[in-house]
Amino acid sequence: MSKQIVIKVSKDFSDFCKSNNFSLAAFRGASASNTNGVPVVWFNVDNTNIVPNNPINVNFDPAYQVYDSLVNAVIPDGRITVGQSMSARLSDSFGIVDKQLTKLPDGGIPTGIRIINKTTGVNIVAGLAGDNGVPIAAFVCNPNVNLFLEPLQTVTISLIGAAFGVGTAIVKATGPSVLLDLTSNDVANIEYNVLMGAWELSVGSPSVPLTQIPAETIMQPFVLPGMNSAKLEQLSAMKF
């Protein structure tokens, strides 16, 4: 089932974005066994297109790809370039074998997707992408270390620098952000209250859990939270 976030654009909000040189970005969430992940801008609207009385629609289907970028490090505020990608479903397992992304016959988990770098002596950046192939998260995959990812039905809306478009790895959002949990709802209507300095649900929106994230906050714990200790122990006990 597709999900939708509708962002109301008032004149105050439009002016606020332009005066601060903000663009509007969206990040999709995933719980990860590795906490070195960096959120990647999956959706972006430049401030020239943040126009009063023109709502911004953020739509997505809960479908995913796995990708590798064939580089060994994530550069903050740098662009993630996809090398190879493959469609992925829960319980799928993927290996990067001699720098080639390959679907493995086993090793997945029912609630998530496994990636393991089997290229000897080389770190490789890899992660999840949306169904359109745009990365949503970037992780440094060390050789022979499992990375497990459980997709979440969360979206973080952020105000970031106008220079950072789709595919940019963002450690901190320049402006205020909000985390929305769409697990139990398919639609949310939100707006930014410039006077109060906070994101809010718009009148008539379904009741959606909402978490304020102040400007200049590290985004990883919100967008790519680590798995709890019980889950990590369960995964470490699995044999592949």
What rounded mean pLDDT belongs to the chain?
94
pLDDT over 90 at 228, yes or no: no
Mean pLDDT over residues 202-209, rounded?
A: 95
Which ranges of the chain would DSSP assign to H, the alpha helix?
11-19, 220-223, 229-236
Is residue 17 scored above 70 in pLDDT? yes
Mean pLDDT for 69-90 is 92
pLDDT tops 70 at residue 176: yes
Which pLDDT value is given to residue 184?
Answer: 95
Given a contact cutoff of 8 angstroms between Cβ atoms, the answer to whether 60 and 189 are in contact is no
pLDDT at 240: 67
Neighbours of 102 (CB within 10 A): 13
Q: What residues does each domain of the chain span?
A: 3-236
List, as one string, the DSSP characters of 138-165. EEEE-BT-EEEEEEEEEEEEEEEETT--
Global model pTM greater than 0.75: yes
